Structure 1
Amino acid sequence: MGALSIPLIFTFHPRLRFDREWKYALPAIVLVAIPFILWDAYFTRIGIWGFNDRYLSGGSLLGLPWEEVAFFICIPYACLYTYHCFRIFFGEGLWGPPWRIHWLIPLVCIFFLGMGWDGWYTRWTAISLLVFYLFHLLVWRSTYLNLFLMTYAVLLIPFLITNGILTGTGIEGEVVWYNPHEHLGLRILTIPVEDVFYGLLMVLASITIWEKWRAVDKTDFRL
């Protein structure tokens, strides 16, 4: 909930008025949360990852702690809020990396697949992100990828802090554990590197649906 506090406080700021974007943001959050919660529940059930009861309240949904379910609501809300702020202050196409930089993401996904095909977390995260990003580059030719990547780059700072704690940095044990046979074993401090791409996929999916909703509302459908 800490990740949600600042976005909620400033949602109604007269310069930002993120509440006016709720009709786009809330459906995006829900539609992305459903498949990610099902993915999370299945991976938890088969032992790809799990949770330390010591740090949990005890409630669950589909075998997931309430805290984990809340993650798929709070984090996308905070990310969409940040994206909205960046759009207001910098504009959609004002700045960002050269277009060819975007091809690094599919190339990294292919590299991960080659290195970690046997790991379920590595394989399915890389495949999902590879296919989704290629659709953006080749089919939809999305105009907002620069703004998305710059937003995500900034979001990586709180991500590394909070996810580091959840995976054991600075605490006794960890809140979330990962089966060492199901990922590459490359970590940023205690964070499996796959988490960075899992988060990128979730945030991009939320932004994609939000942008689609906005385009439809303006009767100018362009992804």
Structure 2
Amino acid sequence: MKYTYLLINIATIFFPVVLSFDKRVAFAKSWKFIWPGMAITGLLFLFWDVLFTIHGVWSFNDKYIIGLKFFGLPLEEILFFLTVPFACIFIYVCLNHYVKWQLSRDVSRSISGLLALASAFILMDNFNKLYTAVTFSLLAIILLLLLFVFKANWLGRFYMAFLVSLIPFYLVNGLLTSIPVVLYNDNQNLGFRVGTIPFEDHFYSMALLLMNVGFFEYFKKSKKLAA
């Protein structure tokens, strides 16, 4: 069905939008802090998406998209970089409201350092695989910037939210890769999959969400300082 990818996008964002107006979390009041970061992050990731499509890292099954394309990308793929970050920031904000416990600063810094180090090793051993190389180099750079330049104090909360976000991640990416809506070229990745989902997808998603949450926290803090 040509509306498959579009319906997956709608399903991804439906409950976060509806529940945004719940008075307890009042996520709708935070929307103004989300859009700037989503625009900046979306442009970066769409740039890579265009290159990946051109170089055959992945392609899109015409049976499951409506056919409207921009720079070779289906409209649904562009929407994906809006719906998924929005839904995941919703999870992040809800957890911040309802769960006061978080990973300690030392633990979150250790996790970040180990992820950056592991990313560097994977990159060095797979430099010729475009999806692998871009994913792990981007993740390592973002983590190192957050650790040593921006000294982010929200990483403990982020990792908790990321673990929760893996539930919808496996649902959404599982559908996209099993139907399949998105077809991956295993010559450009490690060739290892969790079910039907390429291993790299987990860390590409982490990099995407780190940037979005980082900008969300930055714009929210800037607003408070200006008040």
Normalised TM-score (structure 1) = 0.92
Q: Is the 8 A contact 2:130 2:189 kept in 1?
A: yes
Match of 1:137 in 2: 147
Aligned to 2:222: 216
| Corresponding letter in the other structure for 1:104 | L
Q: Conserved in 2, the CA contact under 8 Å of 1:115 and 1:184?
A: no
Secondary structure of 2:59's counterpart equals strand
Which residue type is aligned with residue 84 of structure 1? V
> Contact 1:24–1:214 at 8 Å: present in 2 too?
yes
Q: CA deviation at 1:95?
A: 1.6
Find the counterpart in structure 2 of residue 194 from structure 1: 200
In 2, Cα distance between equivalents of 1:101 and 1:22: 29
Q: Aligned with 1:218: secondary structure?
A: helix
Question: In the alignment, what sits opposite 1:128?
Answer: 138
Structure 1 window deviating more from structure 2 (68-77 vs 23-32): it is 23-32
What is the DSSP-based 3-state SS (H/G/I as helix, E as strand, rest coil) of the residue aligned with 2:191? coil
Higher helix proportion (structure 1 or 2)? 2
Q: In the alignment, which of 14, 17, 20 is matched to residue 8 of structure 1?
A: 17
Residue 104 of structure 1 deviates from its aligned partner by: 2.1
* TM-fit CA distance, 1:160: 1.3
Partner residue, 2:209: 203
Distance 2:130 2:65 in 1: 25
- Select between 121-130 and 26-35 the one with higher mean Cα deviation: 26-35
Q: State the secondary structure of the residue aligned to 1:177.
A: strand
> Of 175, 178, 184, which residue of structure 2 is paired with 1:165?
175
Distance 1:116 1:160 in 2: 25
Instruction: Give 3-state SS (helix, strand or coil) of 2:149's partner.
Output: helix
For structure 2, the 5+ residue unaligned runs are 1-9
Distance 1:108 1:204 in 2: 17
Shift of 1:161: 2.0
Matched, 1:58 2:64: no
Give the Å deviation of 1:137: 1.3
**What root-mean-square deviation, in Å, do the aligned CA atoms of Structure 1 and Structure 2 show?**
1.3
Distance (whole Å) between structure 2 residues aligned to residue 81 and residue 180 of structure 1: 32
SS at match of 1:50: strand
Does the Cα contact within 8 Å between 1:125 and 1:198 map onto a contact in 2? yes
Q: 1:68 aligns with which of 73, 77, 88?
A: 77
| 2:99 pairs with one of 76, 90, 93 | 90
**Mapping 1:174-185, distance limit 5 Å:** 174-185=180-191
In the aligned structure 2, how far is the partner of 1:143 from the partner of 1:36? 24
Task: Deviation per CA, 1:105-156: give whole Å up to 9, x if none.
Answer: 1122023113311100000111111011011112222110010011011111
Partner residue in 2 for 1:112: 122
**How many percent of aligned residue pairs carry the same amino acid?**
34
Tell me which amino acid in the other structure corresponds to 1:39.
W
Q: What SS class does the counterpart of residue 186 from structure 2 fall into?
A: coil
Equivalent position amino acid for 2:157 in 1: L
Shift of 1:70: 0.8
Change (3 A) 1:164 1:115: farther
Contact persistence 2:12–2:172 (CA under 8 A): no
